Chain A
Amino acid sequence: MTIDLFITCLNDAMFPRTGEATVKLLERLGHEVRFNEAQTCCGQMHFNSGYQEDALRLVRHFVETFRDAEVVVAPSGSCVGMVRDLYPRAAEWAGDEELLAEVNALAPRVFELSEFLVRHLGVEDVGAYYPHRVTYHQTCHAMRILRVGDAPLRLLRNVRGLKLAELPAVEQCCGFGGTFSVKNPETSTAMLADKVQSVLSTRAEACTAGDNSCLMHIGGGLSRLQAGTRTVHLAEILASTEAEVFA
């Protein structure tokens, strides 16, 4: 299958290895991977902060970029959630019928990586090797907007060498919430403190998730504590093999 990657602005600028891992993984599974260089950002940050007109520019840009894609896959539940759940709202509220029709045609073909692998391709064992104790954080948008369910866990359980440690209060938000972490830093920090404590209680070497925004938040807290536990994107674990350690 020919897969169009949506790498997301955060991954492009700050976590390129997640994108690289996604490419490796999908190619290893035998797919042709394309990266349309016209892509930028999904507009979630703007939309969620109340700048809906500005977000619309980015919605239109996304639609133009990926209009002809067979499927679009992104290593981010949050950005895919924006496309699938909120692009229709953005178009509706702007009263743009034409955009709404385009969005409705494109959005169902946009997938988060783990749901694409498990639900769409029917693959649960990607042949990965990662000999570490890992805990998995269920990110809110993947869980409640995309309903990816246990797709990431199914993938992780099939990673050779990996010991999966259950994260307490896994359904609780880490407190990132985009600009929420900047606009309400004290409340966000209180949420993060509990999440970090949960992560540390698992005695895992690494905390993984399908979204670098949440991991950036959790990792930022762990780093400030010099906790000795790191964060790693799910794609990087899945891309790792005995021959090539990615994460």
Chain B
Amino acid sequence: MSAGGIVPRQSFQEAARVTLANAQMRRNLGHATTTIREKRLRAVSELPNWEELRDEGAALKDHVLANLGDYLLDLEASVKRRGGQVHWARDAAEARGIIADIAASHGAREVIKVKSITTDEIELNAGLAERGIHAIETDLAELIVQLAEDRPSHILVPAIHRNRAEIRELFRRKLGAEGLTDEPKQLAEAARLYLREKFLTTKVAVSGANFAVAESGTVCIVESEGNGRMCLTMPEVLISVMGLEKVLPTWQDMAVFLRLLPRSSTAERMNPYTSFWSGVTPGDGPREFHLVLLDNGRTDVLADEVGRQTLRCIRCSACLNVCPVYERAGGHAYGSVYPGPIGAILTPQLLHLEDKNANTLPWASSLCGACYDACPVKINIPEVLLYLRGKITEEKPLSAEAIAFKTAAWVMSEPHRFEGAIKLARMGQGPLVRNGAIHALPGMLGGWTESRDLPPIAAQSFREWWRKRPAPEMRGTDGDAQTSEGEPIAPQREDGVPL
């Protein structure tokens, strides 16, 4: 199977070691996320009721998740009523099989694709290739990733790690576009010429879906380039794949999300193209419409009371753009088509906390909380991260780390044990302290001192100082006599330089 999918090949730490060393990518990513972060803040601040809108979005999604079965059955009935066909896929392999069968039954050698993160989740391109069918990405960034034989590194901007000069080179090599400069207009034109021919000649299209309305059987995608509209209207057969959680009860609900999504994702008031399609219409658009409803672990996420909120996600990528870890390590470090904070909670849950690499993802966070603040549907990502850490750690009761933490909890649950441990550490640290700091720690803690010094345990702990304080009635206005360093307080810095 091709690269991509949701199964990481390495732990986050191992993968990040590689991506962090890529200076070009770091620069590209830092520049792109900083720009979009600032733009998003501006776009969001224009709406006086943004917080209420977030609450509304979260509540609507929770309502859908609590009644998911009913709404999915409604959706199925509505789609059928409009002349479409509905397929239920338990997992990635089943979804790949369904789509490949439909494409093959029409004798397709090529299919065009739009909005395809869910198809990346199921590794559709590789599945189709096994059946001799070539998938052509039509989103500009997806096309770049495909031509470069690379992997997407961002939900919304899959080629965010590439800059214009790199893309120009790629188009020259792969599309034979000679004399190209790295002006965005020229690059887009080169892609347009290539894609236009594909739109006009390809019989089968595969799309993702941002939302689907249960009451009318309408599917929706939100995009910026117009390629979606081409894919949805030109081919004879349209196959749309969506995760189970994307269903909304009514058209009314769409209004909330069409306000939340563009501002959160591209920092636009409204995205350039919003397409809706319902079943088939004789004489207009595709003659066949198939909707594939994908589970692939989602119903298990749904069953978990704390983890469930993960399924509110509308894939806007706001959490990626504000995440300091994502900004440095890049999307590839997460090893899944779902990178960043949302990926750190979604990927391991979709894999049932059974994949040892995916299980390192909940630790790929400093818990700074920026993702929770940015999320338009208020997914408490830090909370879910901690919850998953707990569940994953439970499985390893006898690791060296677990024993260390258990010991520490035992020590710290009694003040005299804690104080004894401080004294012991103070004595034991002797050989490690040089010029007032620790420059190298042994064992598990060694990662810290690879780049940072550590102050030593103080000569006198706070509680020791507290005990030595004179009684209140003995104290003057300037309090006690000695500081924790055991030196009289004098107006000078620790290094002796007078202040």
Chain A interfacial positions (CB closer than 8 Å to B): 7, 9, 11-17, 19-20, 23-24, 27, 35, 37-41, 43, 45-52, 54-55, 57-58, 61, 86, 89, 93, 131-132, 140-141, 144-145, 171-173, 175-194, 216-217, 219-221, 223-224, 243-246
Chain A residues with CB under 8 A of B401: 49
A50→B389 contact, CB < 8 A: yes
Instruction: Judge if B379 is at the interface, Cβ distance under 8 Å.
Output: no
Chain A residues with CB under 8 A of B479: 23-24, 27
B residues 411-435 near A (Cβ < 8 Å) are 412-415, 418, 422, 425
Return the chain B residue nearest A42 by Cβ.
B412
Return the chain B residue nearest A246 by Cβ.
B489
B428 CB to nearest chain A CB (Å): 13
Distance between Cα atoms of A115 and B367 in the complex (Å)? 21
Chain A residues with CB under 8 A of B499: 131-132, 245
- Known A20-B465, A41-B418, A51-B393; 18 more pairs at CB < 8 Å: A19-B462, A20-B480, A35-B463, A40-B413, A43-B412, A46-B409, A51-B405, A54-B409, A89-B386, A144-B369, A172-B324, A175-B324, A183-B13, A183-B363, A184-B12, A221-B451, A223-B453, A245-B491
A9→B412 contact, CB < 8 A: yes
B370→A190 contact, CB < 8 A: no
Given contacts A27-B479, A40-B418, is CB(A187)–CB(B16) below 8 Å? yes
Chain B interfacial positions (CB closer than 8 Å to A): 12-13, 16-17, 20, 26, 306, 324-325, 328-329, 333, 362-370, 372-373, 383, 386-387, 389-390, 392-394, 401-402, 405-406, 408-410, 412-415, 418, 422, 425, 437, 439, 444-445, 447-448, 450-458, 460-467, 478-480, 483-485, 489-492, 499
Given contacts A14-B457, A93-B387, is CB(A61)–CB(B413) below 8 Å? yes
Q: Can you report 22 A-B residue pairs in the complex whose CB atoms are below 8 A from each other?
A: A12-B463, A13-B458, A14-B455, A14-B457, A15-B455, A40-B414, A49-B401, A50-B390, A58-B412, A93-B390, A140-B366, A175-B366, A180-B366, A181-B366, A182-B448, A186-B17, A187-B20, A190-B26, A192-B452, A216-B454, A219-B455, A244-B478
Distance between Cα atoms of A217 and B480 in the complex (Å)? 30
B367 CB to nearest chain A CB (Å): 6
Chain A residues with CB under 8 A of B444: 182
A186→B489 contact, CB < 8 A: no
B369 contact from A35, A48, A141, Cβ within 8 A: A141
Residue of B365, B370, B372, B462 contacting most chain A CB atoms (<10 Å): B462
A184→B393 contact, CB < 8 A: no
Distance between Cα atoms of A27 and B463 in the complex (Å)? 17
Number of A-B contacts defined by CB within 8 Å: 223
B367→A171 contact, CB < 8 A: no
B372→A184 contact, CB < 8 A: no
B59 CB to nearest chain A CB (Å): 20
Given contacts A39-B415, A58-B412, is CB(A191)–CB(B328) below 8 Å? yes
Return the chain A residue nearest B385 by Cβ.
A48
B16→A17 contact, CB < 8 A: no
A190→B453 contact, CB < 8 A: no
**Which secondary structure dominates chain A's binding surface?**
helix
A57 contact from B387, B413, B422, B455, Cβ within 8 A: B413
A177→B366 contact, CB < 8 A: yes
Distance between Cα atoms of A103 and B483 in the complex (Å)? 34
Chain A residues with CB under 8 A of B363: 179-180, 183-184
B280 CB to nearest chain A CB (Å): 48
Chain B residues with CB under 8 A of A141: 369
Chain B residues with CB under 8 A of A183: 13, 363, 447
A190 CB to nearest chain B CB (Å): 4
B496 CB to nearest chain A CB (Å): 13
Given contacts A9-B412, A186-B13, A186-B20, is CB(A176)–CB(B328) below 8 Å? no
Given contacts A9-B412, A184-B12, A190-B328, is CB(A177)–CB(B364) below 8 Å? no
B306→A93 contact, CB < 8 A: yes
Return the chain A residue nearest B422 by Cβ.
A13
Distance between Cα atoms of A178 and B448 in the complex (Å)? 10
Chain B residues with CB under 8 A of A245: 489-492, 499
Given contacts A89-B386, A93-B387, is CB(A181)–CB(B447) below 8 Å? yes
Distance between Cα atoms of A93 and B305 in the complex (Å)? 10
Distance between Cα atoms of A192 and B453 in the complex (Å)? 12
Return the chain A residue nearest B18 by Cβ.
A186
Return the chain A residue nearest B450 by Cβ.
A185
Distance between Cα atoms of A23 and B469 in the complex (Å)? 11
Chain B residues with CB under 8 A of A220: 448, 451-455
Return the chain B residue nearest A65 by Cβ.
B415
B8 CB to nearest chain A CB (Å): 14
B393 contact from A20, A50, A188, Cβ within 8 A: A50
Distance between Cα atoms of A174 and B479 in the complex (Å)? 35
B458 contact from A16, A51, A52, Cβ within 8 A: A16
Given contacts A185-B450, A190-B328, is CB(A48)–CB(B386) below 8 Å? yes
Distance between Cα atoms of A57 and B407 in the complex (Å)? 12
